[in-house]
Structure 1
């Protein structure tokens, strides 16, 4: 069977490597895409560009993967920025929201991780908690210095996620924002031990899933295999 092609969003930020210093760069940690390769997919990076090109870009891939990054602009869900909210990346936000809407229109498989789950929710009209410590009273969800912490989640039975993930499990988390009001057509499919929404999905689609945690780091393969299988089915539909 041919390998499906999955479009992957990325950072576009100042970066340095070798002789190159402070260059505006398209980059993404390999950990985000390694599980897709292992599951048999080809990846194509989709850095921010004219949102009008979203549908044309997706016409050349078989699924959309929304990766992590800086906070979504709170203006997009009608909120004033919290003191702890990142400076907005309007070009990335506009591009990825256009991608989500084009993917939904095409009924294409979608997976969002961390920021990607939040972006999926905002694109569907939902809102975010801008600073999780204000909700739960501690910083366990984002320890700082890129230190991930394993926290327990409960996956709701009879959801699509439940067919791909243990119902009770500790998962690696690193986020200071979280989904608040759930977007149109999405349902909650997992919550943390503190009651925070940790996953959402669209039950009307073959595969449309947002995971607040980092499944690329947990060693489980079923989510990736399910996503790649959905992309392959979309390619051969």
Structure 2
């Protein structure tokens, strides 16, 4: 039986559920069964109990208040109901040691769920000369390089210490709390990937592997494949 993977979603200006089809296609291609979770859902415990895996997707900014900070003037659109649901789901899933994969905003949400913080606007908060993290090319194309930490799950999926990724963000992971560890960084030091040292499969990436899969990127394919394999054992 295919594992059931919950995919978090955004809200459009009319309050309607919005999620890019690339996420569902990636789950299906890797052998999972996707189900979209509308933002603001309640009954978190029951949903958590029925899911085999959770995909935290990209989207708008995370509300700084949830990690104890006041909002920077460059913070963009917020969705408090989405924050509340996703943080609760991430905590529930990790407490049950069920697989979680975070992508872009989901990478940041996962970090916050473990007590970490974010850079609210990297271009004003970081002193290093930054690469372009909000690319002008189509999201299916990689535009900058990252370095992967040896002996991480991600290194095993990539089979190399350096890969090229796409990039569509202005916020980034800042402080990281155990059991999460940093597993990849951009050339400018921005944190690009995390994984847990205490769970079977809890990982997150700042880029969009679901889009790179459309061009058969091998690291992205392996990432989703192993996510679904872990979810099959949940």
TM-score (norm 2): 0.90
1:201 alignment counterpart = 195
Question: Residue 154 of structure 1: SS of its match in structure 2?
Answer: strand
Task: Show structure 1 runs of 5+ residues with no match.
Answer: 15-22
Is the contact between residue 143 and residue 149 of structure 1 (CA under 8 Å) also seen in structure 2?
no
Is the contact between residue 63 and residue 108 of structure 1 (CA under 8 Å) also seen in structure 2?
yes
2:232 alignment counterpart = 232
1:91-106 aligned at under 5 Å gives the runs: 91-106=81-96
Pick from 132, 135, 141: which aligns with 2:133?
141
Task: Show structure 2 runs of 5+ residues with no match.
Answer: none
Is the contact between residue 17 and residue 39 of structure 2 (CA under 8 Å) also seen in structure 1?
no
- Write out per-residue CA displacement over residues 16-56 of structure 1, whole angstroms, 9 at most, x where no aligned residue: xxxxxxx43112111122111111110011112354x1111
Matched, 1:154 2:143: no
Question: Residue 33 of structure 1: SS of its match in structure 2?
Answer: helix
Q: What CA RMSD, in Å, does the superposition of the two structures yield over aligned residues? A: 1.7
Pick from 114, 119, 122: which aligns with 1:124?
114
How far, CA to CA, are the matches of 2:206 and 2:135 in structure 1? 15
TM-score (norm 1): 0.89
- Write out per-residue CA displacement over residues 161-204 of structure 1, whole angstroms, 9 at most, x where no aligned residue: 11112321111111101000003310001001111110011011
Q: Aligned pairs, how many?
A: 224
- Following superposition, the deviation at residue 86 of structure 1 comes to 1.4
- Following superposition, the deviation at residue 66 of structure 1 comes to 0.1
How far, CA to CA, are the matches of 1:57 and 1:157 in structure 2? 35
Decide whether aligned partners of structure 1 residues 79 and 144 sit closer, same or farther in structure 2, where only a CA change above 3 A counts. Answer: farther
Decide whether aligned partners of structure 1 residues 197 and 75 sit closer, same or farther in structure 2, where only a CA change above 3 A counts. Answer: same
How far, CA to CA, are the matches of 2:5 and 2:130 in structure 1? 36
